[in-house]
C-alpha cells in the first residue's frame, strides 16, 4: 500500500508497504479521506518521538472484521485511543488515559495517512448515510471541541474567549456558540474572521481580550497562553486545547493568587459530534481549503503548514 511515513522528524512517501493485519477484535479499514491537523504538524517538529504512519482524522470503509463480519462494507469513523480496558484508569472510567493505550498515528499505532489502517471494533462509529465523507472526516476534531463542554459547565451569562481561529478553533467557536454564552474569538486572519462572521460569531483583536470567565487556548503557541492568562478573570478557567513542541515558563504564583483553574482538554465524544454533523447544526465544509491525493502528501503538508491555512484533506 501507499502511505506517508514519519521518522526522525522527516516525512516521506512510501509505496509497496504491506497492509496491516488486524489482530483479534480489530477491523481492517480502507481509508477514504483523512485530514491534516495541528498535531500532525507538531509531530514533524518533534512534539512526540513518533515513528510510523501519522494521521488520526479519517473516514473509511471496513473491509475485514473476522470477529464481526456485519461491519464489513460499513462507512466508519474511529476513536483514536485503543485501550486495554483492564488497567486501573480504564476501570475507573477514563479509558482515554489508559496506561497501556496506543493512539492512532500518534503513539505506537500506525495512522490514517495510508490506504489502510486497523482499529478495535469498539472504537468504530457508523457514519450516517446522509453525511458526506467531507463532513464525516471532521468527526474527531469536532468531538475534541465538544470535550470542553464535558469538562466545564457553561452558562449563558459567561463571557468566553477563544484564542486562535484555525482548524480546531473554528470548530470550538461553533460548538460554544450553541451554548448561548457571550463568545468572542481572537482571529488574526481575514478569512478566519469572515467564516466566523458568517455564523454570527464575534471576533476581536488581541488587545481586546480581557475579563473572561473562560478562555480556550487553541493557538498552540506560548504567546497564546500568555494572552489567555492576561484575558482571564480571577477564579476563571483556562482550557488548553493545543499540543506543541517545547516548554512554557509560567508564573504559577499569579495563578494561585487569582485562583485560576487550568484544564487540559483533548479527545471528546464521537456520538454527539456525528449528530451535530448529521443535523447540519455544525457544517464544516467551508473549512476545507485544499485536497491532495495521498501520493502528493508531502506537498499537502507543506501547504497545511502555512500560516492561516485551514483544513487540508488527503484522498486515497
**148-165 per-position pLDDT tens digit:** 999 999 999 999 999 999
pLDDT over 80 (residue 131):
yes
pLDDT over 90 (residue 280):
yes
Q: β-strand 202-204 against 102-103: which pairing, if any?
A: unpaired
The SS3 call for residue 212 is strand
Share of the chain above pLDDT 90, in %: 95
Q: Which residue has the cell 456485519?
A: 70
Nine-digit cell string for 91: 476501570
With contact defined as beta carbons under 8 Å apart, do 188 and 205 qualify? no
What mean pLDDT comes out for the span 92-96?
Answer: 94
- Chain segment 17-49, per-residue pLDDT in tens: 999 999 999 999 999 999 999 999 999 998 888
DSSP letter assigned to residue 22: P
What mean pLDDT comes out for the span 251-262?
Answer: 95
Q: What mean pLDDT value characterizes the chain?
A: 96
Which of 303, 150, 141 is closest to 239 using CA atoms?
150
DSSP letter assigned to residue 162: E
Cα-based torsion angle of the residue sequence 115, 314, 286, 168 in order, rounded to the nearest 10 degrees: 90
Residue 48: what pLDDT?
86
Show the domains of the chain with their CATH numbers. Answer: 3-138+284-315 (3.90.180.10), 144-264 (3.40.50.720)
pLDDT over 90 (residue 270):
yes
Specify the higher pLDDT residue, 172 or 220. Answer: 172
Residue 47: what pLDDT?
85
Distances (CA, A) of 197 to 192, 193, 249, 265: 9, 6, 34, 26
Euclidean distance between CA atoms 113 and 288, whole angstroms: 17
Q: What is the pTM of this model?
A: 0.96
- Chain segment 238-249, per-residue pLDDT in tens: 999 988 777 888
Amino acid at each position: 500500500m501507499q502511505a506517508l511515513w514519519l521518522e526522525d522528524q522527516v516525512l516521506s512517501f512510501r509505496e509497496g508497504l504491506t497492509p496491516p493485519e488486524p489482530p483479534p477484535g480489530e477491523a481492517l479499514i480502507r481509508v477514504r479521506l483523512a485530514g491534516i491537523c495541528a498535531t500532525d504538524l507538531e509531530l514533524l517538529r518533534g512534539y512526540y518521538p513518533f515513528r510510523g504512519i501519522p494521521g488520526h482524522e479519517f473516514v473509511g470503509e471496513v473491509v475485514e472484521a473476522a470477529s464481526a463480519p456485519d461491519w464489513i462494507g460499513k462507512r466508519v469513523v474511529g476513536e483514536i485511543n485503543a485501550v486495554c480496558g483492564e488497567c486501573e484508569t480504564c476501570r475507573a472510567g477514563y479509558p482515554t488515559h489508559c496506561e497501556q493505550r496506543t493512539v492512532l498515528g500518534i503513539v505506537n499505532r500506525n495512522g490514517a495517512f495510508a490506504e489502510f489502517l486497523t482499529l478495535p471494533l469498539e472504537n468504530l462509529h457508523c457514519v450516517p448515510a446522509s453525511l458526506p465523507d467531507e463532513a464525516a472526516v471532521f468527526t474527531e476534531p469536532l468531538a475534541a471541541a465538544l470535550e470542553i463542554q464535558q469538562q466545564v459547565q457553561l452558562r449563558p451569562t459567561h463571557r468566553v474567549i477563544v484564542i486562535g481561529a484555525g482548524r480546531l478553533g473554528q470548530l470550538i467557536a461553533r460548538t460554544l456558540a450553541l451554548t448561548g454564552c457571550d463568545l468572542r474569538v481572537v482571529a488574526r486572519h481575514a478569512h478566519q474572521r469572515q467564516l466566523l462572521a458568517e455564523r454570527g460569531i464575534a471576533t476581536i483583536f488581541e488587545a481586546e481580550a480581557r475579563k473572561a470567565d473562560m478562555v480556550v487556548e487553541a493557538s498552540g503557541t506560548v504567546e497564546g497562553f500568555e494572552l489567555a492568562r492576561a484575558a482571564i478573570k480571577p477564579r476563571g478557567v483556562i482550557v488548553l486545547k493545543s499540543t506543541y513542541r517545547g516548554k512554557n515558563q509560567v508564573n504559577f504564583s499569579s495563578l494561585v493568587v487569582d485562583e485560576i483553574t487550568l484544564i487540559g482538554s483533548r479527545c471528546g465524544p464521537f456520538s454527539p459530534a456525528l449528530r451535530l454533523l448529521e443535523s447540519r447544526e455544525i457544517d464544516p465544509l467551508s473549512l476545507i481549503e485544499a485536497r491532495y491525493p495521498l501520493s502528493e502528501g508531502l506537498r499537502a503538508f507543506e501547504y497545511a503548514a502555512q500560516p492561516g491555512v485551514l483544513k487540508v484533506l488527503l484522498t486515497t
